[in-house]
Amino acid sequence: MNYDVIVIGAGPGGYVAAIRCAQLGLKTACIEKSKTLGGTCLNVGCIPSKALLHSSERYWDTQKHLSEQGILVDGVRLDFLQMMRRKETIISGFTQGIEGLFKKNKVEWIQGEAHLKGGYFVEVAGQTFESRFFILATGSASIGLPFLPFDEKRVLSSTGALALKEVPQKLLIIGAGVIGVELGSVYQRLGSEVQFIEFLDRICPGFDLALSKGLQKSLTNQGMVFHLSHKVIKAEIGAAISLTAQGEGKTSVFTADAVLVAIGRKPYSANLGLEIAGIQTTPKGFVAIDASFRTSQPHVFAIGDLVEGPMLAHKASEEGIAVAELIGGHCPTLDYFSIPGVAYTHPEAASVGLTEEEIKTRGISYKSALFPMKANSRARCIGEEEGFVKILADAATHRLLGVHILAANASELIAEATLALKERFTADQLAETCHAHPTLSEAIKEAALALFKEPIHL
Ligand code: FAD
Ligand code: NAI
């Protein structure tokens, strides 16, 4: 055998799995076909989108909100290409960082596309490698619309939208999910007119309904326009792009300079050789695994976006660590109940545990409480009064079932709730925890108090 473990794909699932395998003393290689490590997350996903969200928020905030604090800034201008260059520098810093981590941990990077050959063999550029175990982590790809093929200049997937050369005057976004609202926020702040065409009657369908509605209200106040319950049926691409959609009992035509198709992602396993290797997939095309991440071939594991579950970088990484520990002879546990999800909009939307709709479907008897950020002193000091903390708990046991936050820094606030859910805390334990004053996190304590006692500041 050449290796103990070969990992295929160096996204946040694969590269983390490879490093952990090597740390556990396993001879490890990672096959990655791209020129850089880090996968979707580092190259065309989490990191570039968050860099642009930050820059665009600074630009927007400077223009719109500093004067109310007595700070007068004249002549604010946008250097969009510099904003993009900064994003590229951040990406290359991270991708090179992973190369460094591979060297430090003695993970060998085999550059090229992996083709499974069955049994213990994989081929890369005509060379065959043998390994005791394989971890498949080839991730996901954007879903397109058949009548609107991506050209990544005017018909964009998220990858194209993260690499534009100029800010489009009018941007249409098909799909008001997480990618849509994040990238829509970027371009709305930079001056685009942003309109969404969404199939469902709500935005961000994975979130608790109160969070979706609150977020939609905030984004609408920022100027974004949502056409919900609309279905695009035709596209014409000429000097402008024109989309015909049906909704609200009528047919409407929308025009734009660019269109972002953000209707979800699908597992990616092109040319991987799943069939040759005898690896089964689910009806939706994900690689089928058991509770130990094993595929239908017991020495082949699969993780991340390639398998069912939330398509999130931290979920992929946790699975990568768990599989490495399993191969290394340990007994890891992974708690899917406490995986947080965040939309990095303004305000941010963050969620962990069950939504109210899921709790109702399961027939659990529950209590819900909501504490508005405008009653939180820190939020008022920093001018971030939009949003709320909503907590759901079991009516009988008081055990926490879900926490949903719409607030500035919700992405950081959700960590406390995640720990509380992972440890199966009750709302009372959260309410009895001392929180520093003044902090946004006091809103979590107050919402927890509101569940079975009474909030102090409401
Ligand atoms: P990937 O990151 O997709 O990596 C798979 C790797 O496998 C790729 O590098 C690919 O080149 C390689 N590969 C594929 N086939 C082969 C082959 N045959 N041989 C060799 N290599 C191969 N998630 C979050 O948690 N937070 C966020 O803020 C966030 N923002 C996002 C923003 C955008 C615009 C997008 C598109 C996604 C975002 N995500 C976010 C989702 C996140 O990027 C994914 O969930 C995550 O990258 C999945 O990790 P993975 O390791 O499973 O796969
Ligand atoms: P999504 O599943 O979040 O949203 C897709 C949206 O498109 C849904 O609202 C859906 O109803 C709508 N839709 C589907 N088909 C449609 C059609 N034909 N016409 C109009 N609307 C349609 O998927 P999205 O936004 O593409 O993101 C993909 C994945 O990437 C997500 O699963 C998410 O987990 C991950 N991601 C995570 C981020 C984060 O954690 N901050 C940021 C960006 C992406």
Instruction: Tell me the CATH number at 188.
Output: 3.50.50.60
Segment 169-194 shows an average pLDDT of 98
The per-residue pLDDT for 379 is 98
Find out whether the beta carbon of 339 lies less than 6 Å from any atom of ligand 2: no
| Residues 280 and 361 reside in one and the same domain | no
Cα 77 to ligand 2 centroid, rounded to whole Å: 32
Please report whether residue 147 resides in a domain: no
Residue 300 has pLDDT above 80, yes or no: yes
- Tell me the CA distances in angstroms from 445 to 322, 380, 422, 449, 458, one per residue in order: 32, 17, 17, 6, 12
Best residue for ligand 1 mutational test, from 8, 41, 159, 187 (most atoms within 8 Å of Cβ): 41
Q: Residue 396 maps to which CATH number?
A: 3.30.390.30
pLDDT at 380: 98
User: What is the Å distance from ligand 2's center to 311 Cα?
Assistant: 10
Instruction: Quote the CA–CA distance of 5 and 268 in Å, as a whole number.
Output: 21
pLDDT of residue 397: 98
- 432-442: pLDDT as tens digits: 999 999 999 99
**pTM of the predicted protein model:** 0.98
pLDDT tens for each residue of 197-229: 999 999 999 999 999 999 999 999 999 999 999
Q: Is the CB of 264 under 6 A from ligand 2?
A: yes
Tell me the pairing of strands 348-353 and 225-227. unpaired
Q: Are 28 and 8 in a shared domain?
A: yes
Could you tell me if the CB of 458 is within 6 A of ligand 2?
no
342 and 327 fall within a common domain: no
CB burial class (10 A; 0-12, 13-18, 19+) of residue 361? exposed
Q: What's the pLDDT at 395?
A: 98
Distance 298 CA to ligand 2 centre (A): 32
Per the structure, the count of domains in the chain is: 3
Which of 306, 334, 362 is the endpoint of a domain?
Answer: 334
Residue 289 pLDDT greater than 80, yes or no: yes
> Above 80 in pLDDT, residue 1?
no
Give Cα separations from 113 to 109, 271, 275 (angstroms).
12, 8, 16
Please report which confidence band the pLDDT of residue 73 belongs to, taking 50, 70 and 90 as the band edges. very high
Please list the residues that pair with 32 across neighbouring strands: 111
Best of 16, 31, 138 to mutate for ligand 1, by most ligand atoms within 8 A of CB? 138
Domain of residue 182, residue span: 155-263
Residues labelled catalytic: 437
User: Is the minimum distance from the CB of 407 to ligand 2 under 6 angstroms?
Assistant: no
Average the pLDDT over 56-68 and give the result.
95
Q: Which of 314, 334, 354 is the last residue of a domain?
A: 334
Residue 412 inside a domain? The answer is yes
pLDDT of residue 184: 99
pLDDT band at 166 (very low <50, low <70, confident <90, very high): very high
**% of the chain exceeding 70 in pLDDT:** 100
Q: Is residue 328 part of a domain?
A: yes
Q: Quickly state the pLDDT bin for 39 (edges 50, 70, 90).
A: very high
Q: Among 312, 334, 356, identify where a domain stops.
A: 334
Q: Is 208 near ligand 1, meaning CB less than 6 Å away?
A: no
* In-domain check, residue 116: yes
- Residue 373 in this model has a pLDDT that exceeds 80: yes
Question: Over the stretch 95-126, which tens digit does the pLDDT of each residue have?
Answer: 999 999 999 999 999 999 999 999 999 999 99
Residue 87 has pLDDT above 90, yes or no: yes
Q: Is residue 149 part of a domain?
A: no
DSSP-assigned letter for residue 19? H
CA of 11 to the centre of ligand 1 (A): 5
How large is the average pLDDT for residues 245-251? 95
Query: Across the chain, what does the average pLDDT equal?
Result: 97
pLDDT given for residue 285 in this prediction: 96
Question: 73 and 123: one domain?
Answer: yes
